[in-house]
Amino acid sequence: MISIVTAVHNQLEMNQIFLENLRKHTVNPFELIIIDNNSTDGTRAFFEKEGAVVIANNANYSYPYTQNQGIKVAQYNLFAFLNNDIIVCPQWDQKIMESMQVNGLDLITVCGIERIETPELTKKLGRKWKRIKNILKQFGLNKFNLNLMHKLMYGNWENFNQKREDIFKNKVVEGFVGNSVIFNRTALEKIGPWDERIQGADFDIYMRSKKRNLEFGDIKPCHIALNVFNHHYIRITAKSNPPVFADAANMIALEEKWSDADRMLLLKDNVTT
């Protein structure tokens, strides 16, 4: 059983693609907790009709604030914090759970355009996506064009991911990709909930897991599952011009919490995304 937490503000057609693929490619039973940040395009009604647990905010709140809202109502021991602008890979949940067990992890993310197995291949993949997205977005970010972007990027989605599964089954590298963060209640107890002061909260979660590992050794740092590749449309949410966060006055920069010395000590030679 998995508690999936996703924050949204408008983007109805993107949300339809997200849910369609989530249902298609998820193996285990799950509850979908939608934090709706005052959508005005029918998104809230869509998710309510589809049976999601919908938390209706009266304004647009920051990512960490909304993820903690989801934690408070979640029923299960495994949390999946998923962006709405992703397409999950086939059996993503089963692969993640197996990788967590095999590698002794309480905190894990998927891989994707932001980071795969080498910096060189990551750059190559990113360039390809940028070319496709920049051409097609000129014709609008409707459902047809969003699906076409994905098709042109990967061809057969199932075959693309099966090849990665064959090569990278249960292989992980330390780091994170923030569009799909998965952790269990053990991790929540040891590193705490999302820091609501920091919009780059995925980086903060990784840093806290690394710090906890070095100080107590009772949890491994966040790792990336190389066989679980979720597609991320990247920055399309920002392009939709969402309202300023209602809790913006509470936010601080990452540098105010994690100094250069902190980052050098904790990250060393590891590259995170």
Q: Report if pTM > 0.85.
A: yes
Q: Do 74 and 5 contact (CB within 8 A), yes or no?
A: yes
Residues of the chain with pLDDT under 70: 237-240, 268-273
Q: Can you say whether residue 169 is alpha, beta or left, with left for phi > 0 and alpha for psi between -120 and 50 degrees?
A: beta
**Long-range contacts of residues 147-153, Cβ cutoff 8 Å, at least 24 apart:** 147/17, 149/233, 150/87, 150/231, 153/128, 153/129, 153/231
Tokens representing 76 are 């299960």
What pLDDT does 271 receive? 45
What pLDDT does 23 receive? 98
Q: Is the dihedral of CA 198, 199, 205, 207 positive or negative?
A: negative
What pLDDT does 272 receive? 42
What pLDDT does 164 receive? 98
User: What is the rounded distance in angstroms from the CA atom of residue 105 to the CA atom of residue 168?
Assistant: 17
User: What is the rounded distance in angstroms from the CA atom of residue 84 to the CA atom of residue 19?
Assistant: 8
What pLDDT does 237 receive? 59
Tokens representing 36 are 């709706």
Q: Do 24 and 68 contact (CB within 8 A), yes or no?
A: no
Q: For 6, which DSSP code?
A: E
Give the chain's radius of gyration (CA, Å). 18
**Topology annotation, domain 2-267:** Spore Coat Polysaccharide Biosynthesis Protein SpsA; Chain A (3.90.550)
- 173: closest CA among 242, 244, 238, 108? 108
Q: Do 64 and 33 contact (CB within 8 A), yes or no?
A: no
Among the residues of the chain, which ranges form H helices? 12-25, 43-49, 63-73, 92-103, 119-136, 143-154, 157-168, 185-191, 201-215, 236-239, 254-257, 260-267
